């Protein structure tokens, strides 16, 4: 391992030498630049001294040729007025030169009042040149010295060639040593790297399997890696199993469940959520804003409030689902994870519970009201009989008859309430028997014959015309008492709310093998259109006063509706004011 370490050190030394070469080159270039500036500055001072002596242009020119020109280099001197006009140039006739006020080195010297340096291509000579310009305090002119860059570069190049030769020789030797060392050292590291990449991609079965005899640090690291890979493989398998179990549990829940992060992005939805809320055109493989899945601003605000207060929330919210607007109890619970907090939201559909609560409240109010009327009447007449001396037997019997009627009415109301409660609690019918519906209809007609006669109503019963022609029985399988109750309620209503001398027609038919239809029509005054949708509600009366006078409890048609629902059927009404009403009941029997 030490040998490998030494090889790595050799490689680092090679890199160090190369870095040193680069730094040396930079230092050499800076030194040469500084030296050149000093040489040019000295030349400017010499020219400034000659100017102070009052030398003419020709004398200055002669002085420059003798002092500043040699075989290896040639310093160019230019004298420029503060206005930028060229007064003298050692290489060019000043009359042919343009204004130099915009030359970078001149501009810098004028601006600073000291000196200006620039490396650029000469506009006059067309060669790359190193310029230094200084302000001559006595004359007020600018003296500029220039040296061709070829001279400047050649000095650097000579030094660089010598230095590079040495550096390249050392670099090649050290580089060769480093390559050999890296190959010996990096091979197991590369194997570790490749194995780590495979593990990062999800392949936890990757192993390196270092030799047992190898006790180097890399071998120990490889064994540690293999141990970590085995542990991660077990943990990954357990996590997959846990996720599968969790998905099964959440998808088995009949309530919609979603999870959202603190930015209200949906991270999980169960199958029920997809069925109830999720639109078909939304992508299922991407994070979705909660508002696009649960289209409810109130729900979104409830989740935000839970995050703000860091506590669970629950509230009843009306939300639009695929089947329409429903009322849900929304429960928001916060869960901590390594990625932050997650809100688990469970939606419990309480629409039916809310509706039942309202119906129960209305039912209780209706029962209270309906019971109060006969009880008040009974107590009133009892108080009258108790507090007054009534010697006339006829008057006393009249009061007793009224009490009896009210008591009978109260009894009918209680019986209807008990029947309705019994039917509502049932999911399906439990008692079935086979019987002839037409025969049962005739039985009910006979039962109500006295009431029909008192009201001078004729009741006509029978099957539909096609069944009459066939003289066939209409056999059904159901609870005989339930069907009898339907017929009694419908026919009794048709008799009570008919006109004197009117008719009631009862028809039964079987449109298919599974259903039977019972139609009861009358020739009464009919029901206004605005009341038709509500006549099957509990205690709903079109004419409240007349209904009570006729002895109705207000529950007959509601009982008919619930019996029809018990047999997976329905009930409907059609009416024309002044002509009569038709009640139709469809039963699956």
Whether the pLDDT of residue 290 is over 90: the answer is no
Q: Say whether both 410 and 515 belong to one domain.
A: no
> Residue 585: its pLDDT value, please?
92
The beta-strand segments (E) located in 400-556 are 433-436, 458-463, 475-478, 503-509, 515-522
| CB proximity list for 96: less than 8 A, separation 6 or greater | none
Residues 400 and 486 in one domain: no
Instruction: Give the residue with greater pLDDT, 26 vs 459.
Output: 459
- Is there a single domain that holds both residue 30 and residue 115? yes
The average pLDDT across 351-374 equals: 68
Same domain, yes or no: 420 and 513: no
Report in angstroms the alpha-carbon separations of 25 from 30, 34, 38, 117, 118.
Answer: 9, 14, 20, 21, 21
Q: Would you say residue 135 lies in a domain?
A: yes
Read off the pLDDT of each residue in 113-131 and give the average, rounded to a whole number. 82
Residue-wise pLDDT for 31-40, tens only, equals 777 888 888 8
Q: Give the per-residue pLDDT at 109.
A: 84
Assess whether 338 and 476 both reside in one domain: no
pLDDT at 545: 47
Q: Inform me whether the pLDDT recorded for 523 exceeds 50.
A: yes
pLDDT(13) > 70: no
Write out pLDDT tens, residues 215-249. 677 777 777 877 787 788 787 777 777 667 766 66
**Residue 422 burial by Cβ neighbours in a 10 Å radius (0-12, 13-18, 19+):** exposed
Task: Answer whether 294's CB lies under 8 Å from 277's CB.
Answer: yes
Assigned domain for 196 exists? no
Mean pLDDT is lowest, of 210-214, 273-277, 501-505, 511-515, for 210-214
Q: Which residue did the predictor score with more confidence, 327 or 382? A: 327
The answer for residues whose C-beta is within 8 angstroms of residue 117's C-beta and 6 or more apart is: 37, 105, 108, 131, 132, 133
Q: How many domains does the chain have?
A: 5
Is the pLDDT confidence value at 470 over 60?
no
Domain termination site, one of 425, 458, 486: 425
- Quick check: is 63 in a domain? yes
Q: Which ranges of 201-255 does DSSP label H, i.e. alpha helix? A: 217-252
Is 397 in the same domain as 337? no
- Whether 317 has a pLDDT exceeding 80, the answer reads yes
Give the separation between CA 392 and CA 490, rounded to whole angstroms.
41
Residue 185 covered by a domain: no
Average pLDDT of span 419-432: 71
**CATH code of the domain containing 136:** 3.30.450.20
* Helix-, strand-, coil-residue percentages of the chain, each rounded to 5: 55, 20, 25
Q: Which residue would you say has higher pLDDT here, 439 or 467?
A: 439
Give a yes or no: residue 189 inside a domain: no
Nearest to 514 by CA among 563, 567, 572: 567
What average pLDDT does this structure show over 66-95? 80
Length of the chain in terms of residues written = 589
Rounded to whole angstroms, what are the CA distances from 383 to 387, 394, 403? 6, 18, 11
Residues 98 and 222 in one domain: no
Q: Hey, how many other C-beta atoms are within 10 angstroms of the C-beta on 63?
A: 18
pLDDT (mean) for 257-269: 86
Contacts of 426 (CB under 8 A, 6+ apart): 566
pLDDT over 70 for what percent of the chain?
74
The pLDDT of residue 399 is above 90: no
Write down the pLDDT at residue 469. 44
Shared domain for 131 and 230, answered yes or no, is: no
pLDDT confidence of residue 371:
67
- Average pLDDT of the segment spanning 521-534: 86
Of 223, 252, 281, which marks where a domain is finished?
252
Q: How far apart are CA 575 and CA 589, in angstroms?
A: 27
Q: Final residue of a domain: which of 349, 384, 405?
A: 349
Q: Which residue has the higher pLDDT, 6 or 378?
A: 378
Higher pLDDT, 226 or 24: 226
- Rounded to whole angstroms, the Cα distance separating 343 from 312 reads 9
pLDDT given at position 296: 87
Closest CA to 491 of 518, 466, 473: 518
Residue 219: partners with Cβ closer than 8 Å, 6 or more residues away: 188, 210, 211
Do residue 313 and residue 367 come from a single domain? no
Please write the tens of the pLDDT for every residue from 327-351: 899 999 988 766 678 888 999 888 8
SS3 of residue 396 by DSSP: helix
DSSP character for 297?
A: H
Same domain? For 117 and 228 the reply is no
Q: For residue 1, what pLDDT band results from cuts at 50, 70 and 90?
A: very low
Distance of CA 356 to CAs 264, 361, 372, Å?
34, 8, 24
Is the domain of 342 the same as that of 358?
no
Same domain, 410 and 439: no
Q: Lowest-pLDDT range, 376-380, 516-520, 538-542?
A: 538-542
Q: Of 101-110, 339-348, 407-416, where does mean pLDDT reach its minimum?
A: 407-416
Q: What pLDDT is attached to residue 339?
A: 66
Q: Is 201 contained in some domain?
A: no
- Which are the contacts of 210, defined by CB distance < 8 A and separation ≥ 6? 188, 218, 219, 220, 222, 223, 226
Give me the pLDDT at residue 493, please. 87
**CA 569 to CA 589: how far, in whole Å?**
9
What pLDDT sits at residue 582? 92
Note whether residue 44 is domain-resident: yes
Q: Using CA of residue 12, residue 13, residue 18, residue 22, what is the dihedral sign? A: positive
Instruction: Lowest mean pLDDT of 177-191, 200-214, 289-303, 347-361, name the range.
Output: 177-191
Which structural domain range is residue 345 located in?
Answer: 254-349
Residue 89 CB neighbours (<10 A):
23
Rounded Cα distance, 125 and 91, in Å: 9
- Count Cα neighbours of 463 within 13 Å in the Cβ-side half-sphere: 20
Cα→Cα distances 573→216, 258, 303, 365, 519, Å? 94, 44, 46, 26, 10
Answer yes or no: is pLDDT of 139 > 50: yes
Q: Is the pLDDT of residue 586 over 90?
A: yes
Quick check: 264 and 289 in contact, CB under 8 A? Answer: yes
Residue 179, domain member (yes or no): no
pTM as predicted: 0.42
CA atoms lying within 13 Å on the CB side of residue 355: 8
């Amino acid at each position: 391992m030490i040998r490998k370490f030494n090889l790595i050190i050799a490689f680092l030394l090679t890199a160090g030498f190369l870095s040193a070469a680069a730094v040396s080159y930079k230092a050499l270039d800076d030194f040469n630049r500084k030296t050149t500036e000093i040489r040019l500055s000295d030349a400017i001072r010499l020219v400034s001294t000659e100017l102070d002596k009052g030398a003419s242009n020709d004398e200055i020119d002669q002085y420059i040729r003798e002092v500043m020109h040699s075989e290896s280099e040639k310093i160019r001197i230019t004298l420029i007025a503060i206005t930028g006009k060229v007064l003298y140039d050692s290489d060019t006739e000043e009359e042919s030169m343009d204004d130099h006020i915009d030359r970078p080195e001149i501009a810098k010297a004028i601006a600073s009042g000291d000196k200006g340096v620039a490396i650029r291509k000469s506009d006059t000579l067309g060669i790359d040149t190193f310029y230094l310009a200084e302000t001559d305090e006595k004359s007020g002119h600018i003296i500029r010295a220039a040296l061709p860059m070829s001279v400047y570069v050649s000095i650097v190049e000579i030094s660089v060639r010598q230095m590079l030769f040495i550096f390249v020789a050392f670099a090649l030797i050290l580089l060769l040593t480093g390559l050999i060392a890296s190959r010996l050292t990096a091979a197991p590291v590369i194997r570790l790297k490749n194995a780590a990449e495979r593990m990062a991609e999800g392949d936890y079965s990757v192993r390196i399997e270092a030799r047992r005899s190898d006790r180097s640090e890399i071998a120990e690291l490889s064994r540690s890696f293999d141990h970590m890979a085995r542990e991660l493989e077990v943990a990954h398998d357990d996590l997959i199993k846990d996720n599968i179990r969790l998905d099964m549990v959440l998808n088995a829940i009949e309530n919609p469940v979603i999870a959202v992060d603190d930015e209200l992005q949906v991270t999980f939805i169960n199958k029920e959520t997809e069925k109830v809320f999720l639109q078909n055109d939304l992508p299922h493989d991407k994070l979705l804003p909660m508002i696009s899945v649960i289209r409810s601003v109130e729900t979104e605000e409830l989740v935000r409030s839970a995050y703000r207060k860091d506590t669970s929330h629950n509230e009843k919210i009306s939300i639009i689902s695929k089947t329409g607007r429903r009322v849900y109890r929304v429960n928001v619970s916060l869960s901590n994870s390594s990625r932050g907090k997650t809100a688990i939201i469970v939606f419990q559909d309480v629409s039916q519970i809310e509706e039942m609560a309202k119906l129960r409240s209305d039912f209780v109010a209706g029962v209270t009201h309906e019971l109060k009327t006969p009880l008040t009447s009974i107590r009133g007449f009892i108080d009258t009989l108790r507090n007054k001396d009534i010697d006339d037997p006829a008057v006393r019997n009249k009061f007793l008859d009224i009490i009896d009627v009210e008591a009978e009415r109260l009894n009918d109301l209680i019986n209807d309430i008990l029947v309705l409660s019994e039917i509502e609690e049932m999911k399906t019918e439990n008692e079935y028997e086979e019987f002839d519906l037409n025969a049962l209809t005739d039985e009910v007609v006979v039962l109500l014959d006295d009431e029909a006669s008192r009201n001078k109503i004729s009741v006509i019963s029978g099957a539909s015309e096609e069944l009459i022609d066939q003289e066939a029985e209409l056999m059904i399988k159901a609870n005989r008492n339930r069907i009898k109750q339907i017929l009694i309620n419908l026919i009794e209503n048709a008799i009570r709310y008919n006109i004197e001398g009117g008719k009631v027609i009862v028809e039964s038919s079987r449109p298919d093998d599974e259903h039977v239809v019972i139609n009861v029509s009358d020739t009464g005054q009919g029901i206004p259109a605005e009341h038709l949708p509500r006549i099957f509600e509990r205690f709903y009366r079109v004419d409240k006063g007349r209904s009570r006078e006729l002895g109705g409890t207000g529950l007959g048609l509601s009982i008919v509706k619930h019996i029809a629902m018990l047999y997976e059927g329905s009930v409907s009404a059609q009416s024309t004011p002044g002509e009569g009403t038709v009640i139709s009941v469809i039963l699956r029997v």
